[in-house]
Amino acid sequence: MAKIGLEIHCQLTKLESKLFCSCKADYREFESNTNICPICMGIPGSLPLLNKKAVEKATLIAMALDCDTPPQIAFFRKNYFYPDLPKNFQITQLNADGYDKTSIGWEGTITVDNKKIRIRRIQLEEDPGRLIYEGATERTKVTLVDYNRAGTPLVEIVTEPDFENPHHVRNFLNILSDLLENLDVSDPGLDGAMRADANVSIEGGSKVEIKNINSFHDLEKAVHFEITRQQSLAEREIEIIQETRHWDDKRKITVSARTKEEEEEYRYHLEADIPWVNIGSKTKNELQVHMPESISSKRERYVSKYSITSQVADILSSDRYFSELFENAKDETNAKDVANMITTDIMGLLDTREKRDSSKLNAKHLSDLIASIKSNKITRSSAKLALDEIIKNGKPLLQIIKDLDLGHVSDEDTLSNIITEVLNEEATAAEDAKQNPEIINFLLGKVMQKTHGKAEPELTLALLKKNLGI
């Protein structure tokens, strides 16, 4: 039986600056090695200044994961030599002997697939720089280093080895990603904003760490491969050594990188340049008051209060962008219609970050669309055309209806003339409809085609039945 644990690294992307300096936390817009300063590059004589907002965001995550949080936290130096670490040490946290528990949180839980996953600890630390390999990692002759990321605020979430299989791991990461986005502490969809390493072992074998994984999908594959590899070694009575292995995305295998270090090898010691930080009950109470409603609570409220189906509520509550759009557009009379339009139409039109960022759609547009459909000013199909235009240019709905001539065709004489045309063109279907009333829907569709979806459905159906004598 396999044991799987995770170490998740989540950047606090909603912050303006890095953890210990004023460089931008969002380094992605910069040319390589330009978002740096003496502090994040570890120039002798520079001193770190702790980002207060980062401590608050990290504490919020710990509270949301039901962790114990200490009255004081401390920072430590983790000493190791690697090209992406300009200071040759990382400022991080540690629950060390003699210091009690001083990381931002510990002993939390999160439920996945009806099983509680234990959170061992949560710690606030700085992200190292970024290594860029050319070719396969174990054979490349060139490794590039970009220090723009060095010092970015990072929360590390360490789980116990409670996962049963790779699919269970994937589900956990999806749930955690939604939780972090809902808390408005991170945008997990950004490149590198949420990364995970896996610790995998089988019964009787040593723990192997897998790193260099770029997506949840690849992590699932890497864990599956590593379990298979270890089982194969065990069957041949070959020792499974404790080591760090990298995921080779091109060959879809793990490759040995280095012998796994023990904690003692990092020579942790207190960071003397950062004093202990008090996180009092007042701060925690304020964070609790302002903590966003949980995804599960929203899901239950959408179902019980607005009679939204559980499937739609599940989709809507787990996405912060669309959940906020729903909350701002709905009222007591239109909530169900708003939810359905978001999940059936808008999510498909705004299915990437770039599309969301460029969209001109707002909550008023959405509520106006629903109101126009319910008052029979436009049809459902015309609303889709209007929605496309709103997203592109953000014009008021009434202006778009006028510009695109999307108003209902509800004049009886006009509709009767169009229906007569359809019945003449589809004479066979018209005769069949007298015997099989379901065929009338085909004729209704033909009328809709001729009116470009603008015919008022109920009136059109009544006139069709009248002309057919049914």
Pick from 121, 146, 124: nearest CA to 48:
124
- The backbone region for 427, taken as left when phi is positive above 0, alpha when psi lies in -120 to 50, beta otherwise, is alpha
DSSP 117-178: EEEEEEEEEE---EEEESSSTTT-S-EEEEGGGTT-EEEEEEE-S-B-SHHHHHHHHHHHHH
The 3-state secondary structure of 179-219 reads: HHHHCCCCCCCCCCCEEEEEEEEECCCCCEEEECCCCHHHH
Q: What is the pLDDT, as a whole number, of residue 181?
A: 93
Please tell me the distance from the alpha carbon of residue 101 to that of residue 95, in angstroms, as a whole number: 5
Which helix H or strand E contains 50, and what residues bound it?
A: none
Q: What is the pLDDT, as a whole number, of residue 364?
A: 95
Q: What is the pTM of this model?
A: 0.79
Please tell me the distance from the alpha carbon of residue 102 to that of residue 352, in angstroms, as a whole number: 39
Q: What is the pLDDT, as a whole number, of residue 97?
A: 60
Q: What is the pLDDT, as a whole number, of residue 13?
A: 95
One-letter identity of residue 64: A
Task: State both tokens at 204.
Answer: 């009787």
Q: Are 172 and 157 in contact (CB under 8 A)?
A: no
Q: What is the DSSP letter of 108?
A: E
The HSE-up count of residue 53 (CA atoms within 13 Å, CB side) is 16
Q: 412-468 domain in CATH 1.10.10? A: yes
Give the count of beta carbons closer than 10 Å to the beta carbon of residue 9: 16
DSSP 373-392: HHTTSS-HHHHHHHHHHHHH
How far is the first Cα of the chain from the last one, in angstroms, to the nearest whole number?
A: 68
Pick from 116, 220, 226: nearest CA to 169:
220
Which helix H or strand E contains 289, and what residues bound it?
A: helix 281-290
Q: Are 278 and 72 in contact (CB under 8 A)?
A: yes
Q: Are 356 and 330 in contact (CB under 8 A)?
A: no
Cα dihedral sign, 261-267-270-272:
negative
The label of the residue with tokens 């949301």 reads 64
Question: Within the chain, which residues score under 50 in pLDDT?
Answer: none
Per-residue burial over 272-311, b if 16 or more Cβ lie within 10 Å, else e, is eebeebebeeeebeebeeeebeebeebbeebbeebebeee
Q: What is the pLDDT, as a whole number, of residue 100?
A: 67
The label of the residue with tokens 């174990």 reads 138
Q: State the chain's mean pLDDT as an integer.
A: 89
**Domain extent listing, the chain:** 2-285, 293-403, 412-468
The label of the residue with tokens 């008023």 reads 364
